Amino acid sequence: MKKQRNGFQKAWLMSAVLAVVGGGLPPFAQAVPAGNGVMQGQGFDACTAPSTSTMQKWWTDTPWSWIGVYIGGNSRACSQPNLTAAWFNTTYAQGWRFNLIWVGPQAPCSSFAHRFSSNTSTAYQQGKDEAVAAYKAIKALGFGDGLNTPVTYDLEAYPNSSSCRAAVKSFMQGWVDQLAVAPAQVSGVYGSACASYLSDFAAITRPPRYVHAADWDLDHSTWNLSCISSSYWVNSQRFKQFRGDHNETWGGVTLNIDSNCANGPTASGGHLFPNSSCIAK
């Protein structure tokens, strides 16, 4: 896909670089602007953010347009030696857009070391606390002072029990509500399409603004999500992780990744590919 847009991309990227580093600001004082745009295309996530040189090799003449970045949380699995405001500044100027992922405590009935409470009132407050921590993280990474930067909560699969699902819904309501507090950001949730019971969140009082479902059927379409009604999250509010843990090589560099498709908001801005398989119905 990038081969089709390289001429436009070069002119656009030059204006983006000038916007980021212009105006007499110290280098990397702000990585990227606040806000978002609709992304319709393929992206990947890797446990550790790759170096900026690898990111350039994975950008040029590849299918990728965005990357999922694990920005923090006590359940994050990997260290992030590359993750700085300078890294975001450079990769944003390369053309990348971002799905910012927060990996905090998990469901109380799960086996994770860090879990939130099974008490719904406590879980709600813990969800709010995680939203505050995530917001501080995106600020520390240099994102702008404005509104509407999308932040995704990573909720891994957990056993099915009514009490546990009630606690998870309460926790997620806290996450959504706190991110809506000024300066309001955009709340999202990632998890197994079925085993994280993502459909539960469509029915809470204030649902997440977008959903990112792991559904490893190799079907790119964000409309085809197992266990999630086609009537939920319909207004460019869907991401799909269509293939799990595997190795791919681009530009001579091999990474272990998950493959994703987007028809939803990425930070800070998006790219529209109307013929993308990601949005095919």
Q: Give me the residue spans of the domains in the chain.
A: 37-279
Entry pTM? 0.90
pLDDT higher than 70, residue 5: no
Q: What is the pLDDT of residues 125-147, one digit of tens each?
A: 999 999 999 999 999 999 988 89
Phi, psi at 252, each rounded to 5°: 80, 5
Which amino acid, residue 63?
A: P
Q: Which distant-in-sequence residues (6+ apart) come within 8 Å of 111 by Cβ?
A: none
Secondary structure class of 148 (helix, strand, coil): coil
**Beta carbons of 108 and 140 less than 8 angstroms apart:** no
pLDDT for the residue 118: 98
**Beta carbons of 228 and 213 less than 8 angstroms apart:** yes
Compute the distance between CA of residue 198 and CA of residue 228 in angstroms, rounded to an integer.
Answer: 7
Q: What is the pLDDT of residues 241-251, one digit of tens each?
A: 999 999 999 99
Q: What is the pLDDT of residues 33-83, one digit of tens each?
A: 999 999 999 999 999 999 999 999 999 999 999 999 999 999 999 999 999
CB hemisphere CA count around 27 (13 angstroms): 4
Is residue 20 exposed (0-12), middle (13-18) or buried (19+ Cβ within 10 Å)?
buried
**Beta carbons of 209 and 180 less than 8 angstroms apart:** no
CATH topology for 37-279 is TIM Barrel (3.20.20)
Q: What is the mean pLDDT of the chain?
A: 90
